[in-house]
Structure 1
Amino acid sequence: MLLPPPNITGTLHLGHAFTATIQDVILKWNRMNGIDTLWIPGMDHAGIATQVIVEKKIWAERRRTRHDIGRDEFEREVWKWKTEKSNVIGAQLRRLGVSINWEREFFTMDTQRATAVIEAFLKLHEDVLIYEADALVNWSCGLQSAISDIEVEHVEISGPTQINIPGREKPAEFGHLTEFAYQLSDDRSREAVVATTRPETMLGDVALAVHPNDQRHTTLIGKHVVHPFRQTLLPIIADEFVDMNFGTGIVKITPGHDHDDFEVGKRHNLQVLSVLDEKGRMINCGEFDHLDRFDAKEKVLSALESLGLLRGRRDHAMSLPICTRSKDVVELLMKPQWFIDCRKMAQIALENVQKGNIHIEPKRFEKTWETWLENIRPWCISRQLWWGHRIPAYRAIEPNGTTHTLIARNHEEALSLTAKVTSEQCQIKQVDDVLDTWFSSALLPLSVFDWPAETSNSRYPLNVMETGHDILFFWVARMAMLCTHLSGRIPFEKVLLHGVVCDAHGKKMSKSLGNVVAPEDIVEGRTLKDLEAATSQAKNQGLLSTEDAQKAIKGQRKMFPDGIHQCGVDALRFTLCSYNFKNHFVNFDVQECKTNKFFGNKLWQATKFTVKWRAVLATQFPKTDRRHRSPVAWEHEQDVRVMDKWILSRLNFMLAEVNEALSGDNFHIATAALKNFLYYEFCDVYLESTKRGLCEGNVMHALILEHCLLLGMRTLAPFMPYLSQHLYAHLAADASRSHAHAAVEYYPLPENRYRDAALERRVGKLMDVVIAIRRLKKIFNVTAKHHPKVIINTEDEFLRENSNTIMDLSACACLEFNSPTGSSSGSYISDKVDSAEILLHVPEELQRALTVDAEKFEVKRAKLAKELNKLRASMSSPSYAEKVSPSSHENNLRKIAQLEQKIMRLNYVQSLAEQRNCFAQ
């Protein structure tokens, strides 16, 4: 496996912990099943993101820009940042208890990865797949660089909205649809009215277009209109791309700043006119030249109005592209950039999934894979940054200005290539652009195995590529394309995708919302004051604006009023695995970690109990040879009792369920099975049932307690490595074990000989009786001080034979069977479990508390019933499972149980009160 390399932009967040935990469980389970494993870690240089953060840091500390300090010093600052952050990230990963092969650690800009990047570029260029061309690209004016689609967030605006733009004192307003008129050149009294959300782009209009089937405008096709500011003629063309229902049905064509318009321009051989420069200022616009694009909008509107061409403005919903790094509005600019033609590689990647060579799980993402690859566009791989792999392209400039572009590994090779294209003395200069970060990341399945120096490695391809579904195209598909082309073999056999981690309410985690939870916050615990201090520090470092910091602190006070409870690594890991990670979104609830910490405490106490009784019985019965007492012999032992056989059966049921779940990567099923067995069946039921026997010297109880915990800790090891190992070492601390490391043992497999479904059903009925007794005691407040007495009227001999177990588990002082006087006595209340009637004695002082007001009684019951029905209806909705976290679901189940108990108690009270005529008059 390959760990998706965390960006060196900061420290690990919960999404990283989620990824690392999922992969660690996969690795440990495979390794414990005897599979040879290799898990390679690394870190990504994250070109744009890291440059932005370091720039903000330098500005906050020194009030200087990267241009002020120069490229060399800026790169030194970034390398210092990398060293600091990589140490922190490495420590965070180690603390999570992951079994990574640290000796194979890489960085996407180390020497080996740099060599791979250059060789891949040269190979792709040689195969005529990499080329340089003028094309429309996403341009961030704030970064002054092209950016990838993944770095563009499309913000939906429903109407007039003020947007803060970096570098501008006042915000810009969006959310209007402006209509204005173009006059026909042959008849100025006629006009063609168009509609646009960005009126300033009309300065780059080169044509108008209508749909060929739009009867309203067929007479306009072939005519010309006059551009009001350039005084040039613009043709009116017919093209089926026009939406007849949008605006007036006539659209303006601006090929230099719109993808669709660019394609229309190519079809109709139109001029491509650029009216924006890299800094977002107007160019080639006459009187509007040098204006900021948003200032130009107001000037254009004013000028159109003064010319009598403005036809109206109304509120309008729109999608606004925002750069996720700089928070600037993204523009489409025509720029010379480097591209990869991905069409043939995409087809091969598509076929590899269709043929089953690469398996994608969950399977629903195969459709996403197909959609992306079938509609793939050339990949813009150049970035106008200072941090990243420099493109291995050189300009050889002759004295007369003639320029040759050469692709070479280094300056010396470029110099030798120059002699082949010209005899002139040339100036050699490497291009300034760097490669898109995803280019080097796309080579990782190869480059981590020392490609191209080593072209064949038995570890390639990877077995599993596990990562988030949100980068299926940006990373996984690109790995599939590039690595297959360069090596002739697929880079991985299986793609396993997990969902995006959100907060408990389903909101995406964001620093500005204050709902971001770091792994160490849960491991160590954080007070509200600590959380606010971290936010303030991020603001002081320039990583958060004052406005976002204030919003974040407000969010933290709302979400974490009492801070975050200290839960430890194991509780965090177990909680992460308790979610179905294949869901599109994973709503993480911090409170669930607290619950799982209590689960760990329960196991600690159970181990302490077992070790204590093992020592006591070893002292009392020193001749007992524990080393040769194995499960194989237990079926022949006379000391093995009903509950011993039951827990062995349930143990093997759990082992079967967990192994099946892990083989299907269904961790949430595995953790649920583990928790049900260890927490409820083992600790709450079996352990409690052994106390009487242990006091009587039953050694078999101690052996089975130990056996269940030993196998339980080995089964738990991939999920809770620290706790399982600590407890396993204590349990295995005797001469019969050569080593004591849970994760080194083979993963436990079920033994069907111990499964007894009939016995499980009988014990299940016994537990129903125990639960019924507990429920009656709780409803009527019967406690130990009342010395609870129970009568069971039944023909079930199994219940009678196990009366001590029923007494122990229900905490009853006295238990009788088939008492003829029980049901007729007025001091007993009853319940039924199948054919068994359970009667609980209610002392006289508790009976007197049954007097009620009839009217208030009915009102209260109706209120409880309404609340119960509302909760059940909410839980039965189709979207419930996706929106509600496991802890919230458990809370809802507890609420339902509590409401049912309250209603049941009221019903009992009503029944008894009616019998005794003790309703208040």
Structure 2
Amino acid sequence: MWPLCSKYKVGQSLRVKYLWLTQLCSESTRADLNSGYKPSLVEAEEFECYSYFKPKVKANASFSLILPPPNITGNLHLGHALTATVQDVIVRCKQMEGVECVWVPGIDHAGIATQVVVEKLLWNEKRQTRHDIGREHFQERIWKWKKEKAEMIERQLRQLGVSLDWSRQIFTMDSTQSSAVTKAFVQLFDLGLIYRADHLVNWSCCLQSAISDIEVDHVEIDGPTQIQVPTYEKPVEFGSLTYFAYKLCDSDEEIVVGTTRPETMLGDVAVAVNPRDDRYARYIGRHLWHPFRQQKIPIICDSFVDQDFGTGAVKITPAHDPTDFVVGQRHSLDNVQVIDEKGCLTSACGDLAGIRRFEARDVIVSRLEAARLLRGKQDHKMVVPICSRSKDVIEYMVKPQWFVRCSEMASEAVESVRTGRLRLEPKQFERVWFDWLENIRDWCVSRQLWWGHRIPAYSCRVRNSPETAFWIAAENASEALRKGSIALSSDDVEIEQDEDVLDTWFSSALLPFSSFGWPQQVDGHYPLNIMETGHDILFFWVARMVMLGTRLTGRLPFDKVLLHGIICDAQGRKMSKSLGNVVQPEDIIHGSTLENLEAGSKANHDAGILSFDEMTRAVQGQKKMFPSGIPECGTDALRFTLCSHNVKNHFINFDVQECYTNKLFCNKIWQATRFTNSAMDKMAPDSLKPTKFDELAVMDRWILSRLSHLVQVSKESLQMYDFHVTTASIKDFLYFNFCDVYLETTKRAFKLPNTDNAAGHCWTLTTCLDTALRVLAPFMPRLAQHLHKKLQVYPEETRDLGFPQNLNWRDETLEEHVTNVLEVVVAIRRMKKLFGIAAKHQAEVYIVGDTSFYEPFTATIEDLTLSHKVILTSQVEQSAVKDAICDRVSTNTQIFIAVPSELRNAFEVDLSKAESKKTKLVKELEKMNKMISGDNYRVKAKPEAQQMHAKKITMLQEKLARITYMQTMSKK
């Protein structure tokens, strides 16, 4: 802690060594701490902040977890910052308890997202598609992108000050991970848990690939809405029901059905009615005539039909609708695919083949009208599935895909939670877990992409004998040939590997064990101690980790899951490109002008990350939210702000202004440390004597009691992952108890240094800061480390670097007494502020009534209220308080403040006019409050205007309080 020097002599007592070092360093200490907190300087000096608050590791104590790997598609956002910060707090707390922690960083290859971004970039740079340059060169371009983004992501994480084990860093497509992915697929295939089948998938015609459910945005629209679809010049209308008739084959009767997608009627294979619907009972089992395919289609009954919706009859298109697909399987109906992978009508559509799907809509409606089958159109509220990557309207399509059988593994995952072997926090997600896993569908894991893990499945057949073809899974081509030869009993076997790649979530689901050596020997850090991530990927990642981990390793990958909420802006809106309200962590950490914010959005557009429309919305949003830019807040303030919210809430509203306020809190701690070091510097070395708690002054014992409360609450709340409770306790202690109250009460003693009272203050100050900084360290590691290293050590004290243990200084009775004293302090401050009584007026304060309680705190009240003198008395002469103002703080205690003669005239109030003036002030205040409570006030009003309005409201409130006070006093 202290610098070594050649003058240091062996054999000197600890006391002498300390006295000499104190003298040597006393001047440099204050010089080391600048006049104010500057986050950029502190974070540059303490950039590597991983090993300071790290006591000796206890034997057999270990803790492991992995960071959910960010995608290599761009910069880290606030959601990533929240995840990394929460996990870092958990890790640092464990490290401070002497636990060895292994925290694995990683990066995800993000198949679809990365391919889309690089394709955009390729087009922006060279006006080329991936097909123009070929698969090999396209993959080379992505690997170049990966290198650039991986370096940037690591740099951003290091900037956040997180204590990741970088020696274990992984990438989901490096050689070891690829080996694990291949092994997992082969094992699951051999167990019969992976199969290939024709099934309905989410198909992006723009990407020409199946995509996962998480990559589909379900956009609700209420009535006719124009939606821009990629490759279409004009927007496409959604949000209406088109009604048309099917004629019965054996009569002139008809059944009318409604559809939001008229183009899909070409693939209708039946019409369904509810078996309880008397209107259609006589039609069940009969047939309708399809006017375009010139075929009969049956009328079936199925209870899924809502007989009260529309006409009560529903067209069934199994090849292009999820519900219809299930109905089709139930009734053994054919799948007639009428839209192909590119979004054009297929050969099954006759002369309409080749027309693009949404252009075909108008053609079909016109032909229905010409055939006198069109029966009208009405507005309709609906949900449109949109590809989150390409913004294309999803086409549900039956394709041959690879699937993982999930029902059995899902049942095991459900049972793990029911029996308590796996715990979800918050607990309310258990119900969601059960609902989803008990109704799970098989998982489509194949993607028609050029970027990802190539599926290790091979079509094998005897050469020139296509009828012998079948699929096997193998770790390589040689193994596939061997397996195929055995299965076909032939040495003349040819194989062909599937062109598709695996869903990114498949490789990510293996990370808890592939990160620690699987499929070879798994080291002792598996299973993980906890999985912490956002609740939005509970099923897409967490459930799949549990299912695959349990099946492939025989053990749960972790026994505890902590789920945090989704970051929203200050107005509670989810941060998104479409709203233009996304805030980057680095802009908060370093600060940014409005011009730089706009330049960043434009750079992301040039890089293919943002579309032109998204860039435009981002720039517009930045102008509204940050007309004066974003002030520098620093990493520690950002981390503290993120943890100041209940991370278990479904949504977390993030306000940059709150982050800046926490930067000011950092400065408050900084100044308290400077004050403490300065106080120690003023003390003669021999006056700093060993201190006993019972001999300390009353306010010393009070603040140490509050310190004990801080440690107790912090330990309990951190164990429950209630970080917001800990941060609130830290702020309450350091800001209010320590800085605003206790520190002010010590200044009197330091005017006469080298006394026992001053020495007691010094011991208390250093003890409080030493302990509080260690509680603060998991949240603000760089500030805590910087100040703790520079905080002077009281003689013969040893500096602990672990998390504080429970202290035995709690005195709740004393805390209650000080609370009562502070109520008096607040009352005196309020009265003095209302009437402009300052310290220079040297006004006397009388506390009248049962005053024995306040006797130990007279000096404290004087210090905290800047009063010339506080007089305690059971009663007061009227002559002494003739010109005083008065307030009552309890049933038996009053406060009188003598009014200086120069202020008396200012207190003359014409009470007859007071009420009318008060009414006017109330109306003006109501008007101001109504204005600032508007929905868009904080977004549209400039910061300067908001500050001016806040000052005016404060002034109005003070005027009202003064008139109300005078009216009250006149009635007494």
Which of 370, 379, 403 aligns to 1:339? It is 403
Amino acid at match of 1:401: P
Please state how far the C-alpha of 1:422 moved relative to its aligned partner: 5.3
Residues 292-691 of structure 1 mapped to structure 2, 5 A cutoff: 292-396=356-460, 398-402=463-467, 403-420=469-486, 421=488, 423=490, 425-455=492-522, 457-617=523-683, 621-624=684-687, 629=690, 633-635=692-694, 637=695, 640-691=696-747
Please state how far the C-alpha of 1:892 moved relative to its aligned partner: 14
C-alpha spacing 1:467/1:545, structure 2 compared with 1 (3 Å): same
Instruction: Verify the 8 A CA contact 1:864 1:903 in the aligned structure 2.
Output: no
Please state how far the C-alpha of 1:766 moved relative to its aligned partner: 1.1
C-alpha spacing 1:206/1:381, structure 2 compared with 1 (3 Å): same
Structure 2 Cα separation of the partners of residues 336 and 324 of structure 1: 23
Instruction: Determine the structure 1 residue equivalent to 2:99.
Output: 35
Which of 810, 813, 818 aligns to 1:758? It is 813
Count of aligned positions: 884
Q: 3-state SS of the aligned residue for 1:37?
A: strand
Please state how far the C-alpha of 1:861 moved relative to its aligned partner: 5.3
C-alpha spacing 1:900/1:661, structure 2 compared with 1 (3 Å): farther
- 1:252-285 Cα offsets, whole Å, 9 max, x none, are 0111111221122122221111001001101110
Please state how far the C-alpha of 1:679 moved relative to its aligned partner: 0.7
Which of 217, 227, 230 aligns to 2:290? It is 227
Structure 2 Cα separation of the partners of residues 356 and 438 of structure 1: 26
- Structure 1 residue ranges without an equivalent (≥5): 876-889, 916-921
Structure 2 Cα separation of the partners of residues 656 and 806 of structure 1: 28
- 1:569-593 Cα offsets, whole Å, 9 max, x none, are 1111111110000000000011011
Structure 2 Cα separation of the partners of residues 342 and 292 of structure 1: 36
Amino acid at match of 1:313: K
Please state how far the C-alpha of 1:691 moved relative to its aligned partner: 0.5
Instruction: Determine the structure 1 residue equivalent to 2:60.
Output: none
- Structure 2 residue ranges without an equivalent (≥5): 1-64, 936-946
- Tell me whether 1:840 sits opposite 2:902 in the alignment: no
Instruction: Determine the structure 2 residue equivalent to 1:770.
Output: 825
C-alpha spacing 1:902/1:463, structure 2 compared with 1 (3 Å): farther
Instruction: Determine the structure 1 residue equivalent to 2:784.
Output: 724
Q: 3-state SS of the aligned residue for 1:495?
A: strand
Structure 1 Cα separation of the partners of residues 630 and 928 of structure 2: 31
Instruction: Determine the structure 2 residue equivalent to 1:252.
Output: 315
C-alpha spacing 1:661/1:897, structure 2 compared with 1 (3 Å): farther
Structure 1 Cα separation of the partners of residues 258 and 114 of structure 2: 40
Structure 2 Cα separation of the partners of residues 652 and 872 of structure 1: 40
- Tell me whether 1:851 sits opposite 2:914 in the alignment: no
- Tell me whether 1:202 sits opposite 2:258 in the alignment: no
Instruction: Verify the 8 A CA contact 1:512 1:544 in the aligned structure 2.
Output: no
Structure 2 Cα separation of the partners of residues 341 and 894 of structure 1: 64
Instruction: Determine the structure 1 residue equivalent to 2:938.
Output: none
C-alpha spacing 1:195/1:324, structure 2 compared with 1 (3 Å): same
Instruction: Verify the 8 A CA contact 1:502 1:586 in the aligned structure 2.
Output: yes
Instruction: Verify the 8 A CA contact 1:865 1:903 in the aligned structure 2.
Output: no
Structure 2 Cα separation of the partners of residues 401 and 869 of structure 1: 79
Amino acid at match of 1:790: V
Please state how far the C-alpha of 1:219 moved relative to its aligned partner: 1.2
Amino acid at match of 1:551: R
Stretch moving more, 840-849 or 588-597 = 840-849
- 1:201-246 Cα offsets, whole Å, 9 max, x none, are 1000011111011011111111111111111111111111111011
Cα-Cα RMSD: 2.4
Bigger relative CO (Cα 8 Å, ≥ 6 apart): 2
C-alpha spacing 1:144/1:823, structure 2 compared with 1 (3 Å): farther
- Tell me whether 1:277 sits opposite 2:340 in the alignment: yes
Structure 2 Cα separation of the partners of residues 607 and 641 of structure 1: 21
Structure 1 Cα separation of the partners of residues 436 and 948 of structure 2: 41
TM-score w.r.t. the length of structure 2 is 0.88
Instruction: Verify the 8 A CA contact 1:124 1:130 in the aligned structure 2.
Output: yes
Structure 2 Cα separation of the partners of residues 574 and 49 of structure 1: 31
Structure 1 Cα separation of the partners of residues 746 and 794 of structure 2: 23
- Tell me whether 1:25 sits opposite 2:89 in the alignment: yes
Please state how far the C-alpha of 1:609 moved relative to its aligned partner: 0.7
C-alpha spacing 1:243/1:433, structure 2 compared with 1 (3 Å): same
Sequence identity percentage: 52
Please state how far the C-alpha of 1:844 moved relative to its aligned partner: 4.5
Instruction: Verify the 8 A CA contact 1:145 1:385 in the aligned structure 2.
Output: yes
Please state how far the C-alpha of 1:598 moved relative to its aligned partner: 0.7
Stretch moving more, 802-811 or 544-553 = 544-553
- 1:633-661 Cα offsets, whole Å, 9 max, x none, are 322x3xx1111111111110111111111
Structure 2 Cα separation of the partners of residues 719 and 823 of structure 1: 56
Instruction: Verify the 8 A CA contact 1:868 1:899 in the aligned structure 2.
Output: no
Instruction: Verify the 8 A CA contact 2:766 2:793 in the aligned structure 1.
Output: no
Structure 1 Cα separation of the partners of residues 397 and 345 of structure 2: 12
- 1:831-870 Cα offsets, whole Å, 9 max, x none, are 1112221112333454434435345323135437868998
C-alpha spacing 1:822/1:14, structure 2 compared with 1 (3 Å): farther
Please state how far the C-alpha of 1:34 moved relative to its aligned partner: 2.2
Which of 844, 856, 870 aligns to 1:815? It is 870
Q: 3-state SS of the aligned residue for 1:133?
A: strand
Residues 783-802 of structure 1 mapped to structure 2, 5 A cutoff: 783-802=838-857
Which of 770, 774, 792 aligns to 1:714? It is 774
- Tell me whether 1:239 sits opposite 2:306 in the alignment: no
Amino acid at match of 2:588: I
Residues 140-179 of structure 1 mapped to structure 2, 5 A cutoff: 140-179=204-243
Instruction: Verify the 8 A CA contact 1:871 1:892 in the aligned structure 2.
Output: no
Structure 2 Cα separation of the partners of residues 502 and 136 of structure 1: 34
Amino acid at match of 1:763: V
Structure 2 Cα separation of the partners of residues 826 and 267 of structure 1: 95
Please state how far the C-alpha of 1:785 moved relative to its aligned partner: 3.4
Amino acid at match of 1:724: A
Amino acid at match of 1:762: H
Q: 3-state SS of the aligned residue for 1:372?
A: helix
Instruction: Determine the structure 2 residue equivalent to 1:885.
Output: none
Q: 3-state SS of the aligned residue for 2:376?
A: strand
Amino acid at match of 2:909: T
C-alpha spacing 1:562/1:788, structure 2 compared with 1 (3 Å): farther
TM-score w.r.t. the length of structure 1 is 0.93
Instruction: Verify the 8 A CA contact 2:677 2:792 in the aligned structure 1.
Output: no
Instruction: Verify the 8 A CA contact 1:338 1:381 in the aligned structure 2.
Output: yes
Structure 1 Cα separation of the partners of residues 215 and 797 of structure 2: 55
Instruction: Verify the 8 A CA contact 1:399 1:426 in the aligned structure 2.
Output: no
Instruction: Verify the 8 A CA contact 2:827 2:889 in the aligned structure 1.
Output: yes
Which of 791, 803, 806 aligns to 2:858? It is 803
- 1:732-754 Cα offsets, whole Å, 9 max, x none, are 5688578x7x7xx22112222x1
